[in-house]
C-alpha cells in the first residue's frame, strides 16, 4: 500500500504506474480515493472544531453553575448535547470514509522501481544474466517423475487415492535427497548470517491481507473452515507477519531471517504434463529468506538476496539464469522482482525455481511495521526471496545430474547430508 499523502500530491505518477502495469480498470480508483480522502479530511476538521466548541461550552457550564445561573447552564447543556449528537454522526461518517479509503488504497499497486521493464505479462520478462554453462547431453534425459520412479523414489498413484492430483509421496533416496537439499540450504543461509526460524504454518486474515493483494489471496490461499486462519502459501507470510504492529529499534536492523515451512497453494487450472509431476503442486516444502531493513538499504539487500540463490544452485552444479519481471508480471505489492530459473536439459530451456522481491514499504504500511527514528517514526522496507523449494528444485537437480546409465550423481556439498552417498543407482 502506498502513502496516501504521496498519492494526494502525485496522482499523475500513480496513474502512470497503473498504466505501466496494464491495469486500466484501476485508474478511476485514484480519483475516487482522492475524493473520499478530501471528504474524510473535511470531516476530521469539522470534528476537531466541534470538540473545541464542546470543550469551551463545558467550561461555561461550570462557571454558570458556580454563579448560580442554573437555567442558563441547562441551555448550554442542551447545546452540548446537540454537538455530541452531531459529533457522533460525524465520527460514524469519518470511520466509514476512512475504511473506504483504506480498501481502495489496498487495490492500488505499489510504485515500481524505475528500472522495471514495461511489458504485459511474463512472456515479456527480460533475461539479465546466465550463471554456468547449460549442457544438453547426447543421451535422452527422462521426465523427472520417470527418473524418480526408476529410483523407487515417488508414489503418485497412492497420493491421488489419498489426496487427489497435486500431491505426492516421496520415498527412499528421493525423500532423503529432498531433506538433504533443505538442510543444506538452511546451513547455507545460516553461514550467510541469517537467523534460522520455523514459523507458524497458519496465519490470521489480517496478516494475509497485509502481506499480499486480494487477487493473490483468492488465487493461492486455503482457508480453515470456521476459523480466522489460512494455511500459508510460503513462510514469508508468517515471517513478515512476525513484525506486525511493531515499532522497531533502529539499532537492531536489519532483521535477516531464513525460515523453513511446508507451503500450501490452490494452483488453480490445468497444467498439462506438469500436472502428473512435482512442478505445480498443492503442498511442498521450502526454505525462504526475508529481510526487514532501513529504506535506503533495501535495494542493496535485494541484490544480495538473489545472488545467494544463484550461489546455492551453482554450488550444486546447476546452471541458472536471472529474469527481470516486467511491469505486467509484477504483483501489486512488489516494487521490483527477479526470478531465478534453472536449466532443464530435457526441455532445453530454463524454468522458474525461485523469486526475489523488494516490496519497499508496501507490506510495512499494511501491517504497521515502523522504525523508531530520531526525528520521528517511519515505515521499514521488506524483502523476500526463495532459498530453495525442493520439489521443483528436484526436477533441475535430477535432470542436471542424470547419467546415461540411469544413475544420479550427488555433488560434493550435498554428500554429508546424504550420509556420504555419491551416486543414486536405479532400482527398476
d(Cα 58, Cα 79) in Å, to the nearest integer?
10
Q: What is the percent of the chain where pLDDT is above 70?
A: 98
Percent of the residues in the chain that have a pLDDT greater than 90, as a whole number: 83
pLDDT at residue 276, as a whole number: 59
Average pLDDT of every residue of the chain = 93
Same fold, 4-105 and 122-424: no
pLDDT digits (tens, 9 = 90+) for 241-275: 999 999 999 999 999 999 999 999 987 654 555 44
Bridge partners (DSSP) of residue 231 are 202, 222
Q: Of 101-115, 165-179, 269-283, 385-399, where does mean pLDDT reach its minimum?
A: 269-283
Averaged over 320-342, what is the pLDDT? Answer: 97
Is the pLDDT at 214 greater than 80? The verdict is: no
Residue 417: pLDDT over 90? yes
pLDDT in the model for residue 80: 86
Task: Tell me how far apart the alpha carbons of residues 360 and 1 are, in angstroms, rounded to a whole number.
Answer: 10
- Tens of pLDDT along 123-148? 999 999 999 999 999 999 999 999 99
pLDDT tens figures, 155-180? 999 999 999 888 999 999 999 999 99
**Average pLDDT, stretch 404-427?**
97
Residue 380: pLDDT above 60? yes
Average pLDDT over residues 201-229: 90
Q: Per residue in 54-90, pLDDT tens?
A: 888 888 887 878 888 888 888 888 888 889 989 999 9
Taking residue 9's Cβ as centre, other Cβ atoms within 10 Å add up to 10
The three grid cell numbers given for residue 84, joined into one nine-digit string: 455530541
Question: pTM higher than 0.95, yes or no?
Answer: no
What is the 3 state secondary structure string of the chain? CCCHHHHHHCHHHHHHHHHHCCCHHHHHHHHHHHHHHHHHHHHHHHHHHHHHHHHHHHHHHHHHHHCCCHHHHHHHHHHHHHHHHHHHHHHHHHHHHHHHHHHHHCCCCCCCCCCCCCCCCHHHCEEEEEECCCCCCCCCCCCHHHHHHHCCCEEHHHHHHHCCCCCCEECHHHHHHHHHHHHHHHHHHHCCCCEEECCCCEECHHHHHHHCCHHHHHHHCEECCCCCCEECCCHHHHHHHCCCCCEEEHHHCCEEEEEEEEEECCCCCCCHHHHHCCCCCCEEEEEEEEEEECHHHHHHHHHHHHHHHHHHHHHCCCCEEEEECCHHHCCCCCCEEEEEEEEECCCCEEEEEEEEEECCCHHHHHHCCEEEECCEEEECEEEEEEEECHHHHHHHHHHHHECCCCCEECCHHHHHHHCCCCEECCCC
- Spatial distance between the Cα atoms of 349 and 364, rounded to a whole number of angstroms: 37
- Grid cell 519497499 in the structure block, residue: 360
Q: What is the pLDDT of residues 281-297, one digit of tens each?
A: 899 999 999 999 999 99
pLDDT number for residue 274: 47
- C-alpha dihedral (93, 97, 98, 99), degrees to nearest 10: 110
Main-chain dihedrals φ then ψ at residue 77, nearest 5 degrees: -60, -40
pLDDT band at 233 (very low <50, low <70, confident <90, very high): very high
| CA angle, 268 then 272 then 273, to 5° | 125
Q: Which of 122, 142, 114, 146 is nearest to 277 (CA)?
A: 146
Name the class of domain 122-424. Answer: alpha beta
Q: What pLDDT score was predicted for residue 165?
A: 87
Top-level CATH class of 4-105? Answer: mainly alpha
Average of pLDDT values for 300-310? 98
Distance CA 352, CA 333 (A): 20
Domain ranges within the chain, ordered by starting residue: 4-105, 122-424
Query: Quick one: 131 exposed, middle or buried, by C-beta within 10 A (0-12, 13-18, 19+)?
Result: middle
Measure the CA–CA gap between 198 and 388, rounded to whole angstroms: 15
Higher pLDDT, 428 or 328: 328
Q: Residue 226 — pLDDT band, cuts 50, 70, 90?
A: very high
pLDDT: which is higher, 84 or 423: 423
Q: Which of 309, 304, 267, 256 is nearest to 286 (CA)?
A: 309
Q: What is the mean pLDDT of residues 390-413?
A: 96
Pairing label, strands 370-373, 247-249: parallel
What does the pLDDT average to over 344-357? 96
pLDDT at 275: 47
Report the alpha-carbon distance of residue 257 to residue 240 in Å, rounded.
Answer: 10
Amino acid at each position: 500500500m502506498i502513502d496516501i499523502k504521496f498519492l494526494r500530491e502525485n496522482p499523475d505518477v500513480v496513474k502512470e504506474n497503473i498504466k505501466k502495469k496494464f491495469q486500466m480498470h484501476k485508474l478511476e480508483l485514484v480519483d475516487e480515493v482522492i475524493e473520499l480522502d478530501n471528504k474524510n479530511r473535511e470531516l476530521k476538521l469539522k470534528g476537531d472544531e466541534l470538540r473545541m466548541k464542546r470543550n469551551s461550552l463545558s467550561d461555561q457550564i461550570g462557571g454558570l453553575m458556580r454563579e448560580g445561573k442554573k437555567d442558563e447552564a441547562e441551555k448550554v447543556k442542551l447545546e452540548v448535547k446537540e454537538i455530541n449528537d452531531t459529533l457522533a454522526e460525524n465520527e460514524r461518517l469519518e470511520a466509514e470514509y476512512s475504511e473506504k479509503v483504506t480498501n481502495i488504497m489496498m487495490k492500488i499497486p505499489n510504485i515500481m522501481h524505475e528500472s522495471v521493464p514495461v511489458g504485459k505479462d511474463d512472456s515479456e520478462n527480460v533475461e539479465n544474466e546466465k550463471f554456468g554453462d547449460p549442457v544438453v547431453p547426447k543421451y535422452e534425459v527422462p521426465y523427472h517423475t520417470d527418473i524418480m520412479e526408476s529410483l523407487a523414489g515417488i508414489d503418485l498413484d497412492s497420493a491421488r487415492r489419498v489426496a487427489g492430483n497435486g500431491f505426492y509421496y516421496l520415498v527412499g533416496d528421493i525423500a532423503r535427497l529432498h531433506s538433504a537439499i533443505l538442510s543444506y540450504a538452511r546451513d547455507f543461509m545460516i553461514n550467510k548470517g541469517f537467523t534460522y526460524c520455523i514459523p507458524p504454518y497458519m496465519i490470521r486474515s489480517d496478516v494475509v491481507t497485509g502481506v499480499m493483494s486480494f487477487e493473490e489471496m483468492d488465487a493461492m490461499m486455503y482457508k480453515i473452515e470456521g476459523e480466522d486462519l489460512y494455511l500459508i502459501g510460503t513462510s514469508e507470510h508468517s515471517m513478515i507477519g512476525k513484525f506486525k504492529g511493531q515499532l522497531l529499534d533502529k539499532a537492531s536492523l536489519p532483521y535477516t531471517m531464513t525460515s523453513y515451512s511446508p507451503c500450501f497453494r490452490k494452483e488453480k487450472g490445468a497444467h498439462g504434463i506438469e500436472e502428473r509431476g512435482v512442478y505445480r503442486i498443492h503442498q511442498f516444502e521450502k526454505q525462504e529468506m526475508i529481510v526487514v531493513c532501513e529504506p535506503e538499504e533495501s535495494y542493496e539487500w535485494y541484490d544480495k538476496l538473489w545472488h545467494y540463490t544463484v550461489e546455492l544452485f551453482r554450488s550444486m552444479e546447476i546452471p541458472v539464469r536471472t529474469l527481470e519481471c516486467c511491469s505486467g508480471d509484477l504483483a501489486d505489492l512488489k516494487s521490483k522482482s527477479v526470478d531465478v530459473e534453472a536449466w532443464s536439459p530435457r526441455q532445453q530451456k530454463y524454468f522458474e525455481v525461485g523469486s526475489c522481491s523488494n516490496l519497499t514499504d508496501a507490506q510495512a504500511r499494511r501491517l504497521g511495521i515502523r522504525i523508531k527514528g530520531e526525528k520521528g517514526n517511519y515505515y521499514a522496507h521488506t524483502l523476500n526471496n526463495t532459498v530453495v523449494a525442493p520439489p521443483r528444485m528436484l526436477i533441475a537437480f535430477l535432470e542436471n545430474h542424470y547419467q546415461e546409465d540411469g544413475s544420479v550423481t550427488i555433488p560434493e556439498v550435498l554428500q554429508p547430508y546424504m550420509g556420504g552417498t555419491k551416486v543414486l543407482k536405479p532400482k527398476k
